[in-house]
Chain A
Amino acid sequence: MIWKRQIPILIATVIGFATLFGWFIDHPGIESFVNDDATQWYDILASFAIFLGALNLMKLQGKKVFKQQSGWQYSIFAIGGFFFAIVAGFIYKGNDAVEWGVHVTSKGTLFKWMFDYMFTPLSATMFALLAFFVASASYRAFRVRNLEATLLLVSGIIIMVGRVPLGSSISSWFIMYLMVLIVSIAVNIKLKDKKITFSTFLGGVLIVTIWGSSLGWPIDQPGLFYLPILQDWIYNNPNVAGARAIMIGIGLGIFATSIRYILGIEKSYIGE
């Protein structure tokens, strides 16, 4: 039991404290351990983790095929792909002029062929499909249900159009006319009075037209209605505020969890 429980906890505690102190204590021994040795240990462990991950992948996929669980046909491709990569990486180079190791990225080798003509198109296709699903999902799910959803939708539209060159070609005056139209529709829905709606619309159009004429219709003025400036503001203010809050929250969470690991309170890594 001592090897399965106390010793691993002791190792985690000692290494944890040593790494933590490495940031605060100016001692060459600790500094060298934290900066050099510990990181190299991590590299070695990470390499073993890849090996274990590969074995686990094969075990799970193999089990699926043998037991003919749902979707077992796909597992055949996973196993086939795995062994093909093993062959291309360790057994057959496909180009004798290239050294082992370098063959992975060299032209004319089987591994490079696999990367260029199998992995790259498949990977790019999977990512590209997102565009289609985003379009379909936004059409069906992006609804003005409440205030929060409306804010999300409006800022989403501003970012989407403002980020691309098309956004810089849309005059802020066009956006202002659009605003007048939207406000008029809102007034009509709320008050259901044609006279008030018409007055709002006409008043808005007149104000925008007189204002635009007096300024000479500059495309990016007033900046409040120019999409690229507006999207910049959204990125730099509300977005940064939210992102910072999330980052600080995550940081505190990492700190608390790390302390739990170092003090031996958190023991999930030994299966408890």
Chain B
Amino acid sequence: MDKISDYILKAGTIDRRWIFLIIGLAVLLPLFFPLGLPIRATNATQKVYDAVEALEENSKVLVSFEYGPSTKPEIHPMAIGLLRHLFTNGHKVFVTCLWPDGQFMADEALDEVAKEEFDLTYGEDYVILGFRPGNEAVVKGMVSNIRKLYTTDARGTLVDNIPLMKNINKVADFDFIFSASAGYPGTVEWVQYASDPTGVPLSTGTTSIMVNDIMPMVNSGQVKGILAGMPGAAEYEALIGTPGIGTSGMDAQSIAHLVIVLFIIFGNITYFIETQRSKKY
């Protein structure tokens, strides 16, 4: 028994580079050899799907991009999934960005979905208003008067010359808001300054780490569901029936989580043996 304990303790002093290597392999291998694990939608994801489904055709949906390349693997799949869902149901999409790099993400997502997949017309089916500095002041400004804040769109076209912007003057003119958010400014600001005061329903997609902050608002009904990190994106892809980047990343995330859990358990076994020995001697 002591020999086994010695082996475990020896393994417990493993160089951290071995841990890095194991994690690297745990992420890489499932990407090359997918396991196809079944994806089950949680209530929070189902609520987002139901909120979009409840919209009447031709609804005006404001989608805000508040993330950058660092959180792209988590948020981008859900943004793409949501855009697919919105365009499939025949809605009009208006894009704003509270983060400067959000505009790059919006461009990329709309190129992929609106342009390549659905062959939609810019200015008639969707529009990118772009980034404005000012964080929550931008949200508040949009609630009051979009045209004061955005005189031109992201392509430099006068907002007054964009057909889709006809009769759009403030947030209350939209039927639905979706915030694809990786932090501040993001979902919380949209709830506080736009959705709550105007009553326009809002759903969100966030990084896993942000879910704790948003969950109270989901439970209170202020936010109509939440797509929580990459699992949320994969669940949404499953609901709309179009597997994408979120789904393919889930096997890798599953195995990586499992490996980390095994590390934690193993670490605790060594800790237990150490404490038992120190008590003994």
Contact = CB atoms under 8 A, between A and B. Distances in A.
Contact of B73 (A40, A105, A124, A165): A124
A247 B218 CA distance: 14
Contact of A99 (B143, B156, B208, B212): B156
B31 interface: no
A143 interface: yes
A156 B264 CA distance: 10
Interface in B250-272: 250-251, 253-261, 263-264, 266-268, 271-272
Contact of B38 (A135, A139, A169): A169
B70 A127 contact: yes
A43 B256 contact: no
A126 B20 CA distance: 15
21 contacts: A35-B143, A39-B134, A40-B149, A47-B133, A50-B133, A101-B156, A112-B104, A115-B101, A126-B70, A127-B70, A131-B256, A135-B20, A135-B22, A136-B19, A139-B266, A144-B272, A153-B264, A163-B257, A164-B37, A164-B257, A166-B257
Given A135-B263, A136-B20, A161 B141 contact: no
B70 A124 contact: yes
A239 B212 contact: yes
With most chain B CB atoms within 10 A of its CB, the pick from A105, A120, A244 is A105
A164 B231 contact: yes
Interface in A231-264: 232, 235-236, 239-240, 242-244, 247
Interface in B205-244: 208, 211-213, 215-216, 219, 228-229, 231, 234
B268 A142 contact: yes
Contacts of B42: 228, 232
Interface string B134-161: 1101101101110011000011100000
B47 interface: no
Interface in B12-45: 16, 19-20, 22-24, 27, 37-40, 42-43
A142 B267 contact: yes
Interface residues of B, number: 68
Classify chain A: how many residues form its interface, as a range: 35 or more
B260 A165 contact: no
B250 A157 contact: no
A8 B258 CA distance: 56
Given A105-B107, A123-B68, A135 B259 contact: yes
Interface of B: 16, 19-20, 22-24, 27, 37-40, 42-43, 68-73, 101, 103-104, 107, 132-135, 137-138, 140-141, 143-145, 148-149, 154-156, 208, 211-213, 215-216, 219, 228-229, 231, 234, 250-251, 253-261, 263-264, 266-268, 271-272
A131 B264 contact: no
Nearest to B156: A102
Given A120-B72, A160-B260, A163-B231, 20 more contacts: A40-B148, A40-B149, A43-B141, A46-B133, A102-B155, A121-B69, A124-B70, A126-B70, A127-B70, A127-B71, A132-B23, A135-B260, A136-B20, A139-B267, A157-B264, A161-B258, A165-B231, A168-B39, A243-B213, A244-B216
A6 interface: no
A67 interface: no
Interface string A18-41: 000000000000000001100110
A35 to B, nearest CB: 4
Contacts of B27: 131
B140 A139 contact: no
A45 to B, nearest CB: 9
B264 A165 contact: no
